[in-house]
Amino acid sequence: MKSAFIYSDAYLDYDYGMTHPLKIVRLKLTYELIKALELLSLSSVQFIPARKAEEGILEAFHSREYLQVLKQASQGHFDQSLYRYGLGPGDNPVFQGLYDWSLWVTGATLQATDFVMNGEGDIAFSIAGGLHHAQKAKACGFCYVNDAVIGIRRLISKGKRVVYLDLDAHHGDGVQWAFYDTNQVLNISLHETGRSLFPGTGFENEIGIGKGEGYSVNLPFPPYTDDETYLSAFEEIVPPLICAYQPDLVVTQLGVDTFYSDPLTNLNLTIHGFERLIQRIKKIAPRWVALGGGGYNISNVARAWTLAWALMNSIELKEDLPEAYIEMEAKFGIYERKLRGKESPPVCGKREEIRRETDRVVEYIKNIVFPKVCA
């Protein structure tokens, strides 16, 4: 089995701003930890330097008008006309080079899809990708260009059957709406309920329309859902749907803002639960394109995605982090010495209530969606 890891230090040329929660340096830390653990020197691994997408490729999803606005905003100058495109102070700031940043992210995602689609290997991981909120003509949720949609559209244009599996704490709304009326993609999103978290969508009754009815699958979790409840629901819903759909590839968005120590979200997952999810995906995905996604505790991001990359390559990592990496992370105010850390998040007194609500959603999906996909 061959795998590819796509990355470039060019990512660090861009910055959402000092106060913005999305820190691009988390990508550099992930790469450095993976390298320190010698996970790029495996005989089965190909390191692929990321390259920018060609500008015209973005039109596979986004409107020309919006892309022109992004190019103008990329000069770093803001005016009020940009508000209608989701740009401005807050989630989607205007900063120098934001259009080029989007080209880098999209290019890396396409390199990952091409590697797997063309039979060069079975797994590819682009940690910069997974910016799943961007709409056709609007920036949204830290996302300017929807690299996931563009990558998936390339796959289906080549006749591939695709499952898109989104594990981010935030609902993958941009990807859902892009494929809401088609059965060419089975879109499965596991996330914190929109009742308590942006973008306020992703409820279980959002199942698609027309030919796409049943092919949009949402599993929203109440705040403080833990590993046990999440993994149980995953097992009841995801493997049977993937088995029934029989995709050529699975594209995953591996956001790790589901962890209990993430500053922006309210789920109670641990890195141990994430490890079990990655192990399960590897077993059920015929071929696998992995994208990054959310994660606003940068130590969590580096350790979790490193662990994911190791598991993708059937490597079991020890608990201690390399000393060289520990010295590097200290420069960013991080003092973690263990890969996985403690197993148990804070105890939640609503565990039974959370389990009952999750069971209700699981039964809804089984009763409403399964007959359409699994027939």
Which residues are tagged catalytic?
171
**Which pair of tokens denotes residue 143?**
């996302």
d(CA 86, CA 241): 34
Three-state SS string over 159-209 comes to CCCEEEEECCCCCCHHHHHHCCCCCCEEEEEEEECCCCCCCCCCCCCCCCC
Q: Given CA atoms 303, 304, 310, 314 in this order, what sign does their dihedral have? A: positive
Show Cβ contacts of residue 119 under 8 Å, excluding neighbours closer than 6 positions: none
Phi/psi-derived region of residue 206, left when phi > 0, alpha when psi is between -120 and 50, beta in every other case: beta
From the centroid of its chain, how far is CA 143? 12
Three-class DSSP category at 61: coil
**146, 131 in Cβ contact below 8 A?**
yes
Torsion angle of the four alpha carbons 15, 17, 18, 21, in this order, in degrees rounded to the nearest 10: -90
**130, 145 in Cβ contact below 8 A?**
no
Q: Given CA atoms 61, 66, 68, 71 in this order, what sign does their dihedral have? A: negative
The one-character DSSP state at 52 is P
Show Cβ contacts of residue 327 under 8 Å, excluding neighbours closer than 6 positions: none
User: How many residues would you count in the chain?
Assistant: 375
